[in-house]
Amino acid sequence: MVQARGLTKTFTRKKETVEAVKGIDLEVGDGELVAFLGPNGAGKSTTLRMLTSLLHPTAGTATVAGYDIRTHPSEVRARIGYIGQGNAAGHSYRVLDELHNQGRFYSVPRATTQTRAAELLAALELTGLEKRSVVSLSGGQRRRLDVAMGLMNRPGLLFLDEPTTGLDPHARANLWEHILRLREETGMTMLLTTHYLDEADSMAERIVLIDHGTVIADATPAALKREYADDVVTLELTGEGGDIAERALSAIPALAASSEHTARPDGSVRLRLRSANGPDLVPPALRALEASGLTVASADVRQASLDDVFLNLTGRSLREDAA
């Protein structure tokens, strides 16, 4: 569905040059759900806008839905849906008029436009709001209308630029429910950008991590976490006599190399262990520690997150960046 090679975009404004995208390679297969994840200004939207043929690349090539974005932009546009940042619908129009205008824009026959608009309104829980002006809709309703507009031409490939930004958690979950159901029904390929780590983690089948205009990793969320981050297991240990930390590490020698410990004022020891699989590590570690006469007062497992992945790859946190 998408094949990009060396996609590059350099902006020049007021004699200042910004290398927004620096040679991105990308493949997206039929039916995949891929998320671009990265900090502000990483080049996610610029890449998306090039792939949708809205921006001309400075260098590089891409075919989208089988057509070259440079030589056949209108063929590309006819086959894709694009939901940009900010709302697509004009403020003063009515909901149904927006959908009909969109149908006209894509030269969808009039009767088909009407049935399709009604179907999409129902699918996105907007039925009953046909005559309302767009400005009177809630944030979640407006975003759902954007999705409906993006689907009026029945695209095989849908691009969504930060679809849920600015929505409250309930509206985010609701929008995702609709998007995923529509995807299941149509088999659509989806390529989206997001700031939300949890969203990328739970919704995307594949994550393309972008930083400073380049792809720094491209894999499933689970593979990224396995490869670039560890779970952290924290154990609070108490025990009579002797050096608790030394006894703990000799009880679990295989884990000693990936551990650090802190003595606490009350005489207990906090032991932190890094592991690719924290939940599996805990039961045997508890058995070994207790067999050596130590008491495990508490155990906590923090599983690796995509933020840990980004932090390990770049030295920066995506969370701080978003904040």
Residue in 317, 303, 311, 290 with CA at minimum distance from that of residue 234: 303
Q: Choose among 149, 195, 205, 148: nearest CA to 172.
A: 195
- Tokens representing 315 are 């030295």
Nearest to 37 by CA among 321, 240, 263: 321
3 state DSSP class of 148: helix
Instruction: Determine the 3-state secondary structure of 103 from DSSP.
Output: helix
- Report the residue number, 210 or 252, with the smaller CB distance to ligand ATP: 210
Round to the nearest angstrom and report the end-to-end CA distance of the chain.
34
Interacting residues toward ligand ATP by CB under 6 A: 11, 13, 18, 20, 38, 40-46, 195
Contact 25, 217 (CB under 8 A): no
Least distance to ligand ATP, CB of residue 12, Å: 8
Rounded CA separation 157/151 (Å): 10
Comparison of 151 and 209: residue with beta carbon closer to ligand ATP: 209
Say if CB 183 and CB 175 are below 8 A apart: no
Least gap, CB of 162 to ligand ATP (angstroms): 7
What is the nearest approach in angstroms of ligand ATP to the Cβ of residue 192? 12
What's the rounded Cα separation, in Å, for the pair 276 and 10? 39
Report, in Å, the least distance between residue 6 CB and ligand ATP.
17
Nearer to ligand ATP (CB atom), residue 214 or residue 303: 214
Residue closer to ligand ATP, measured from CB, 87 or 277: 87
Choice between 108 and 208, CB closer to ligand ATP:
208
CB of 86 to ligand ATP, least distance (A): 11
- Least separation in angstroms between CB 85 and ligand ATP: 7
Nearer to ligand ATP, 44 or 206 (CB): 44
Cα separation, 39 vs 51, in Å, equals 20
Q: How far is the CB of 44 from ligand ATP (least distance, A)?
A: 4
Shortest approach of ligand ATP to residue 105 CB, angstroms? Answer: 24
Contacts of 246 (CB under 8 A, 6+ apart): none
Nearest residue to 156 (alpha-carbon basis) of 31, 47, 39: 31
Nearer to ligand ATP, 38 or 150 (CB): 38
State which residue, 18 or 276, has the beta carbon closest to ligand ATP.
Answer: 18
DSSP 282-297: HHHHHHHHHHTT-EEE
Rounded to the nearest 5°, which phi and psi values hold at 121? Answer: -60, -40
Minimum CB–partner distance for residue 166 and ligand ATP (Å): 12
Closer Cβ to ligand ATP, 49 or 261, answer by number = 49
Report which of 74, 78, 4 is spatially closest to residue 46, judged by C-alpha positions.
4
- Nearest residue to 158 (alpha-carbon basis) of 133, 132, 182, 127: 182
